[in-house]
A and B are shown apart, each in its own frame.
Chain A
Amino acid sequence: MKLIIPHPGHSLALEEICKEATEEVDEIYMAGTPEVLGSGRVTLHAPLLDEITEQTQYIHDKKFKIGIVMNPSCMGGQHLTSQGYNMFRWYFGKLSEIGVDSVTVAEPYLVEMLTKEFPDIKVVVSVISHVDSPERARFFEELGADAITLDTNINRDFEILEGIREVVDCELRLLANEACLYKCPFRYSHFNLFSHMTALGNRPNIFSDYYYEKCISFRVRYPELIIKSPWIRPEDLGAYEALGIDCFKTSGRANTIRWITDCMRAYSDRSYDGNLMDILDCPSELRDMFYIPNKELDGVIKQWMTCKKFCHKCGFCKATAQRIIRIFEFTDMQRKTLPLREVQVV
């Protein structure tokens, strides 16, 4: 198994992460420079080239690889202008000189450009490219991808995963703990928003992150959505390795160092005895509302391996939510948990 873990970007975090890194860790990734290109996620510290140089050296000294993530879903067409092309070419050239091991991009043009002009850099297709079928995977491999991070929506679709493994030779990566909503209606719009929020110039002055707030509200109203969302438990990595997929990426570069290293350890140990919410990225705001005893989910992978995704006919995830989810309540200066069914009048 290879683990690919996030890094918030500042050098103190990198030192701590490297100090605690397990032997399963293969690559550490962070956002690139916002002056050049935005990113698909919240970026708290985006290092400039000097910092990337120092951190690359540091990571290599510790015998890990470094990945730079530059995966906005929208670049407003800038990449296809002469100015944009020259800027990206210059920047990727710098990353190549520095010795960065991989660059993750979502834009198909950048996949091909990196492949053609910087063959020393490993080209990784982002989860934001939504590779969810053998045909789409083949398409990106044809463009030159060395690795593809698969769409999280197929994390529990073993037939498609197997099909993709059959048709491409490149490395396949699974994002294990992103835990966005399954078939989220906001996914494209939210990534587009982040693309512009994380890039310099013309940043929209938004009154609210509508998609995030709506996402959290959905989960509060319908807690079964947390069970349906396609995270992969640390205990279930073996089911994917059996398909020939052994690279697992954890998300959460906007979280604290401790959170990142706790997730890393859970996936390295292939076991987590605690609240599953503590190791899921997207709904981490809800870790003080829901308690999901991870060990009580042992065996559910068997259902999901053959899941047809007709939730309206199945009801397995909803019943699982009712059975195991507990809700935190704070009374008399103490936190306790109540079963979901005591709070939710069905």
Chain B
Amino acid sequence: MRDLLDKIPQSRGKLESTIRKFKGAPVYIIELKVFGTACGCIGMLADVRGLQIEDIEVYQEHFVAILSEISRYIGLKPDLMYARTLPGSFEVVAFTARELCSRCKNDLASFEKPRPDLIILNKA
């Protein structure tokens, strides 16, 4: 368990420095969390500042690659990776990599854009 806990700050730093490198600009990962929800999903969520929707469009493959690498590192096998935007704005505020429960598979993974604030990056 301690091993997993140690991997969380390392993953936060890795995600942040990798994005900074491929974007060539400051980006801030405020927090990286590993979560389990009441419905049965498990996953990883990173709160981010400094990115906008166009960054996702330009660097989507890079985001998928680094989120996949970190997921592997912490032992997560995500069914879905997505970015969350601030509704009505261009700001990207979080990345999520998530192993879905059966309900969320139906809710989130069955559509190209399940919610207006989500940008699907990758589906398993």
A and B: interacting chains? yes
Q: In the assembly, what is the distance between CA of A327 and CA of B26, in Å?
A: 8
Give which listed residue, A216, A285, A332, A345, contacts B25 with CB less than 8 A. A345
Which residues 64-116 of B sit at the A interface, judged by CB distance below 8 A? 86-89, 91, 93
Which residues of chain B are within 8 angstroms of A329 by Cβ–Cβ distance?
13, 16-17
B84 to chain A, nearest CB (A): 10
Give which listed residue, B24, B30, B86, contacts A208 with CB less than 8 A. B86
Q: In the assembly, what is the distance between CA of A220 and CA of B86, in Å?
A: 16
Counting chain B residues whose Cβ lies within 8 A of the other chain, the interface size class is 20 to 34
A312 interfacial by beta-carbon distance below 8 Å: no
A221 interfacial by beta-carbon distance below 8 Å: yes
Inter-subunit contact B26/A331 (CB<8 Å): no
A12 interfacial by beta-carbon distance below 8 Å: no
A310 interfacial by beta-carbon distance below 8 Å: no
Which residues 262-300 of A sit at the B interface, judged by CB distance below 8 A? 285-286, 289
Which residues of chain A are within 8 angstroms of B27 by Cβ–Cβ distance?
220
Nearest B residue to A208, CB-CB:
B86
Which residues of chain A are within 8 angstroms of B6 by Cβ–Cβ distance?
333
Inter-subunit contact B91/A289 (CB<8 Å): no
Known: A340-B26, A344-B26. A220 touches B50 (CB 8 A): yes
B10 to chain A, nearest CB (A): 7
Inter-subunit contact B13/A343 (CB<8 Å): no
Inter-subunit contact B49/A217 (CB<8 Å): yes
Interface residues of B (CB under 8 A from A): 6, 9-10, 12-14, 16-17, 20, 24-28, 30, 49-52, 86-89, 91, 93
Interface residues of A (CB under 8 A from B): 207-208, 210, 213-214, 216-217, 220-221, 223, 285-286, 289, 327, 329-333, 340, 343-345
